[in-house]
Structure 1
Amino acid sequence: MKKIIISTIAVSALLFTVSCNTDFDTDVKDIPVTKGDADFSKYISLGNSLTSGYRDGALYSSGQNESYPSMIAAQMKLAGGGDFKQPLMPNDIGGFNNLPGFPGKLTLQVVNGSLAPVPSGAAAALDVLSGGGTYNNMGVPGAKSFHLVAPGYGSQAGLATGTANPYFVRFASSATTSVLADAMTQKATFFSLWIGNNDVLSYATNGGTNSQTVGGVTTYSIATVQSGNTNPTTYKSNDISDPALVAGSIKAVLDGLKSVGTTKGVIANIPSVTSVPFFTTVPYNPLTPELLGSNLTTLNTSLYGPLKQALTAFGAGDRINLLSATGPNPVLIKDVALTDLSAQLTAALTPSLGLPTATAFGQIFGQARQATADDYILLTTSSVIGSTAPMVPSPVNIYGISYPLQNQHVLTKTEAGYVKTATNAYNASIKGLADSYGLAFVDANAKMLELNSQSGIVFDGVKYTATFVRGGAFSLDGVHLTGRGYGVVANEFIKSINAKYKSTLPQVDPNKYSGVKFP
């Protein structure tokens, strides 16, 4: 059976315009530009990949030049703002060819007759810039909230132990400094802060798992939802951060900036990560009768029927239903939150399937069920569905069809609930900190939900939505924005700044920036 590959990307996706006359929301472009109660002469931005201009799965120079802070800085310059220096990558491809796991940017290419995102080879080795500690854009891809206050996060020696980040190594002032410390030395007059997204995002994009590669073999373990643990040195890479740690880290950043006189700024909350294309593009039920073909009847007779009968006897018949010959069918997944019925299923059904070992059936289907609309199939899983599971005997070795998609391929309803709970807690703290420190506040979560709605967001007749590629706002990695999408974000920051500080910074025109590039 062929893999399920995203095949709906058409050349018509180049055209994002719609017949609509909606204009800029509360724009001030016809009003004289003033700074109001703010001072934009020295602006710095702190955050993660969203702040840096990361897109298409990499950080590269043209993407950085379309970061939302650089757009804001250009508007601030009209009201007395100064230059805005960014730690630009040395090329327009990105990646580090001397570090594992840092490929170049994704590009659209024809794969098996369909357009699909394909990673480029990394263009250069990690470069360490001069002038550390003087960059206005301090967005660090991959940074979680507590990383901003962690000494040594820019130490090149720390890369081997996982305590440092190569993107901060590039522009840190020393091996012992922190992002906050370098920000404090600049004594900025205005700042923006958007952090906390990665404290839950890495858990979600990895299906609630942590991975480890040894000798070329990757194994996965369940990621932890940290509760009551505010010691980040005990965390694994994809654990959901404890809300108290996130709030404390953000407060530490605000206190550090305040201590050097940087008291005016804007802070944003965390978007609902499951509303981005990485989680909304691949349906939970992509197995059409046409795709399954003659295998549909065989699957029902030899697998789904016997499996449902056995599960019903064990009080779990709702996990599996027969495949439909008239409508779309859900993929088969492993849900680690389910009671493990491995032993029961092994005893009941192994002989009927002719598997080579007595435990094989139970190990495969003990926690299997069909996906529902409450589960999120990851964008990266699209190329896995329908492929052959390695080291698994036939006939139960086709991912998502006769072999369950594994935990790292799906964000289940239970796992999505953990993400939602953490996001709500983070956002409550961020809003409280914005109020207590007298800062402008951006409700990025509400804007993301608006972007994910059917009506989307319209600027000068161009409609933006969270639809993968065709929506115009999101880049090829399904998580980060295009230049146009960052323009939408920049305007939310500008509107909040104007409302809080009585400034009249004009909004940017997102339509002037770049979107997804087609071959």
Structure 2
Amino acid sequence: MKKILISTIAVSALFFTISCDTDFETDVTNIQVTNGEANFTKFVSVGNSLSSGYRDGALYSDGQMESFPSMMAQQMQLAGGGVFTQPMMPNNVGGFTSLFAASGMKDFYGKLTLKVVNGSLSPTPSAPAADIDIIGGPGKMFNNMGVPGAKSFHLGAPGYGNPAGLAIGAANPYFVRFATGPNASIIGDAMAQAPTFFSLWIGNNDVLSYATSGGSGIDQTGTGNNPTTYGSNDITDPAVVTQVINGYVTALTSGGAKGVIANIPNVTSIPFFTRVPYNPLTPALLGSNITALNTSLYGPLKQALTAFGAGSRLNLLSATAANPLLIVDNDLPNLSAQLTAALTPSLGAPTAAAFGQIYGRARQATSKDLVLLTASSAIGATVAGAPASINVNGISYPMANQYVLTETETAKVLTATAAYNASIKSIATAKGLAFVDANAKMMELSSISGIQFDGVKYTASFVTGGTFSLDGVHLTGRGYALIANEFLRVINQKYKSTLPMVNVNKYQGVTFP
């Protein structure tokens, strides 16, 4: 099966989604710019990749120039704001060569770009352009303290920017670049700048790494475990998120600074989890294989599973409707032994044992499962080491857990997200801060109507919607501009300032070859 790619018709649609509205409530275009009750002299932004300008799977200079805090700072400068500095990457590709090699060329590659592959456009990673460059040190401060990959509890962790911690995963290479010292923390370096105004957007990675790994981590909710013991893909206990964010806000406001904090979006509004359908196996794709698959595989498995009260896991493939992917669900009871016993008389012991092992937790996906964007190139591919008769990924061989966030796993993510967001809103209210409901904004963006700005309609559709970059998680320049405007809107509302909105349409969308 081919990758889930972008058709020329969809690309054309991108340029003709026109409307006459702008979906921002506070129009201050013709009003004198004032700071109101806020002081924008020293604006510091604290967060993760969403604050840094990360997009297309990498942090690179063009993306940083279009980070939403940088856009906000430009508007704040019209109302007394000062210079806004960022820890700029040394090139426009991104990535780190030594870490790329150390990971087996799987992590820290350069940005994704659209290239023509087999006649269609496909996001393709670039080789990293350079290694880590150290631009920090004592007294070297940056207003944009967004660190890609940071979870909530990382912001206050001393040594998170210590180069010595890279080899053991205790440090973050992006913070290593610009930390003031080996024992520095992100929040400490932010506080050292004595901000008069701040933005804080954190918590997304506390569930995102679990979700993007297909639920491979542990849900630490209610465990009381110390975050230093967490695996990289674990869901952070909401109690931990509440405690650390409250501590950061207390510190940031201790000198009288005002600020704005935002909640986090649901994974169900992000193209990484919505682009690939659960049922991409059309009759046209499967062709004459449908009869053979039903006769030799789906039929016998369905019969055996029904005998064990698990017949609902599989249905015969349809010759008239789209069919769901075959996936692994680790939350299902493992029926390997039972399947092996049931299939041995017809298949023989060795083959039956192999089938039992492969299909013991297999089922067809449903509309409540989220198939990850990374699955697009794996669907229909040959599975190395699998028996030749059942080695087609997602069709005759169940797709591995890493490609699908099941209904059960999705529920864990949404439950944690709701808990985080309730706490963030409560903290904003208690501290008298402006609050951005980023979750609601992303849901609006993912709706059919999308968000309008100056005659252009933006949606969360992958690539063609104009707002999400090629990694399916992070925004384009235009997407970040929409977020910047939402931050500016609530700042104006809360602090009686009249900061103008940014012109969304002047920033970059997806670049086509």
| Superposition TM-score tier, normalisation by shorter sequence | over 0.9
1:28 aligned partner, one-letter code: V
Quick check: 1:254 aligned with 2:249?
yes
2:242 aligned partner, one-letter code: A
Question: Hey, what does 2:455 align to over in structure 1?
Answer: 461
For residues 311-336 of structure 1, the C-alpha deviation after alignment (integer angstroms, 9 at most, x for no partner) is: 11111111100000011000000111
Change (3 A) 1:10 1:163: farther
User: What CA distance in whole angstroms lies between the structure 1 residues aligned with 2:196 and 2:29?
Assistant: 24
Where do 1:111-260 residues align within 5 Å? 111-130=117-136, 133-210=140-217, 223-259=218-254
CA drift of 1:352 comes to: 3.5
1:109 aligned partner, one-letter code: K
Paired residues of 1:16 and 1:463 also in contact (CA < 8 A):
no
Question: Hey, what does 2:62 align to over in structure 1?
Answer: 62
User: What CA distance in whole angstroms lies between the structure 1 residues aligned with 2:49 and 2:349?
Assistant: 46
Provide structure 2 residue ranges, at least 5 long, that are not aligned to the other structure: 101-106
Paired residues of 1:350 and 1:360 also in contact (CA < 8 A):
no
Question: Hey, what does 2:360 align to over in structure 1?
Answer: 366
Change (3 A) 1:402 1:354: farther
Where do 1:1-150 residues align within 5 Å? 2-8=1-7, 10=9, 12-13=11-12, 15-25=14-24, 26-100=26-100, 101-130=107-136, 133-150=140-157
User: What CA distance in whole angstroms lies between the structure 1 residues aligned with 2:121 and 2:238?
Assistant: 40
Question: Hey, what does 1:268 align to over in structure 2?
Answer: 262
2:198 aligned partner, one-letter code: F
2:297 aligned partner, one-letter code: L
Q: CA RMSD in A?
A: 1.4
User: What CA distance in whole angstroms lies between the structure 2 residues aligned with 1:169 and 1:14?
Assistant: 42
Paired residues of 2:343 and 2:352 also in contact (CA < 8 A):
no
For residues 392-430 of structure 1, the C-alpha deviation after alignment (integer angstroms, 9 at most, x for no partner) is: 112111110000011111000000000000000000000
TM-score calculated relative to the size of structure 1: 0.95
Counterpart selection for 2:303 from 309, 320, 343: 309
Paired residues of 2:273 and 2:371 also in contact (CA < 8 A):
yes
Paired residues of 1:302 and 1:353 also in contact (CA < 8 A):
no
1:251 aligned partner, one-letter code: N
Paired residues of 1:226 and 1:239 also in contact (CA < 8 A):
no
Query: Secondary structure at the residue paired with 1:115?
Result: strand
Provide structure 1 residue ranges, at least 5 long, that are not aligned to the other structure: 211-222
Counterpart selection for 2:275 from 281, 293, 299: 281
Paired residues of 1:456 and 1:466 also in contact (CA < 8 A):
yes
Question: Hey, what does 1:425 align to over in structure 2?
Answer: 419
Query: Secondary structure at the residue paired with 1:416?
Result: helix
User: What CA distance in whole angstroms lies between the structure 2 residues aligned with 1:103 and 1:162?
Assistant: 17
Quick check: 1:293 aligned with 2:300?
no
CA drift of 1:198 comes to: 0.3
Question: Hey, what does 2:104 align to over in structure 1?
Answer: none
Query: Secondary structure at the residue paired with 2:98?
Result: coil
Counterpart selection for 2:474 from 447, 462, 480: 480
User: What CA distance in whole angstroms lies between the structure 2 residues aligned with 1:236 and 1:518?
Assistant: 37
Quick check: 1:322 aligned with 2:328?
no
Change (3 A) 1:236 1:507: same
Question: Hey, what does 1:503 align to over in structure 2?
Answer: 497
CA drift of 1:6 comes to: 2.3
Which deviates more, 226-235 or 412-421?
A: 226-235
User: What CA distance in whole angstroms lies between the structure 2 residues aligned with 1:315 and 1:333?
Assistant: 19
Change (3 A) 1:187 1:350: farther
For residues 155-200 of structure 1, the C-alpha deviation after alignment (integer angstroms, 9 at most, x for no partner) is: 0000111110000000000000100110111001000000000000
CA drift of 1:299 comes to: 0.2
Paired residues of 1:287 and 1:328 also in contact (CA < 8 A):
yes
Query: Secondary structure at the residue paired with 1:515?
Result: coil
Query: Secondary structure at the residue paired with 2:390?
Result: coil
User: What CA distance in whole angstroms lies between the structure 2 residues aligned with 1:120 and 1:11?
Assistant: 24
TM-score calculated relative to the size of structure 2: 0.96
User: What CA distance in whole angstroms lies between the structure 2 residues aligned with 1:111 and 1:354?
Assistant: 43
Query: Secondary structure at the residue paired with 1:344?
Result: helix
User: What CA distance in whole angstroms lies between the structure 2 residues aligned with 1:337 and 1:110?
Assistant: 39
CA drift of 1:354 comes to: 6.1
Question: Hey, what does 1:447 align to over in structure 2?
Answer: 441
User: What CA distance in whole angstroms lies between the structure 1 residues aligned with 2:134 and 2:417?
Assistant: 34
Which deviates more, 341-350 or 373-382?
A: 341-350
For residues 206-233 of structure 1, the C-alpha deviation after alignment (integer angstroms, 9 at most, x for no partner) is: 10015xxxxxxxxxxxx34442324111
Change (3 A) 1:24 1:340: closer
Query: Secondary structure at the residue paired with 2:150?
Result: coil
Change (3 A) 1:424 1:224: closer
Query: Secondary structure at the residue paired with 1:21?
Result: coil
Query: Secondary structure at the residue paired with 2:481?
Result: helix
User: What CA distance in whole angstroms lies between the structure 2 residues aligned with 1:173 and 1:93?
Assistant: 25
User: What CA distance in whole angstroms lies between the structure 1 residues aligned with 2:307 and 2:136?
Assistant: 68
User: What CA distance in whole angstroms lies between the structure 1 residues aligned with 2:482 and 2:278?
Assistant: 29
1:90 aligned partner, one-letter code: P
User: What CA distance in whole angstroms lies between the structure 2 residues aligned with 1:324 and 1:17?
Assistant: 36
Counting aligned pairs with the same residue, the percent is 66
Paired residues of 2:339 and 2:352 also in contact (CA < 8 A):
no
CA drift of 1:391 comes to: 1.1
Which deviates more, 24-33 or 489-498?
A: 24-33
Paired residues of 1:9 and 1:469 also in contact (CA < 8 A):
no
For residues 7-46 of structure 1, the C-alpha deviation after alignment (integer angstroms, 9 at most, x for no partner) is: 4365734743434210352221110000000000000000
Query: Secondary structure at the residue paired with 2:303?
Result: helix
